[in-house]
Amino acid sequence: MPTLTIEYRTEAERLILEQALAFYAQLRHVGATAPDGTVLAACERVALDSGRQLVRDALASAVQERADTTDRPKKSPARGAKGNVRAGS
C-alpha cells in the first residue's frame, strides 16, 4: 500500500488534515454502501453536512491562528491630566 508523508507546522493544521482524510473516508464508505440509485444523493448529503463542518473547522482554525499570532498592544487604563486613573466614564 502506498504511503504519504505530510509535514505540518501546527497542531491545528494536523487536526484539519486528519479531518479532511476522515471526511474522504466517510464519503468513500457512504458511496460504497449506499443502495443502487442513491449513491449520488447519499454522497451529496455527506458532502453538505460533513463538508460544511470541515470548512467551518478550517476557517475557525485559520482565524484563531491569526488571532494567536497577532501582536496586540496591551491596553492600559485611561489616565486623567495628573496621571490619575479616571473613575467611571
Provide mean pLDDT across the span 17-41: 96
The answer to whether residue 71 scores a pLDDT higher than 90 is: no
Provide mean pLDDT across the span 55-59: 94
Looking at residue 68, its pLDDT comes to: 85
The packing angle between helices 11-33 and 39-69, to 10°, is: 180
Q: Which cell numbers hold the place of 7? A: 509535514
Looking at the DSSP bridge assignments, the partners of residue 85 are 79
- Prediction pTM value: 0.68
The answer to whether residue 2 scores a pLDDT higher than 60 is: yes
| CA–CA gap between residue 31 and residue 42 (Å, rounded) | 7
**Element at 88 (helix H, strand E):** none
Question: How sure is the predictor about 69, in pLDDT bands with cuts at 50, 70 and 90?
Answer: confident
Percent of the chain with pLDDT over 90: 65
Provide mean pLDDT across the span 22-33: 97
- Minimum mean pLDDT among 37-51, 53-67, 72-86: which range? 72-86
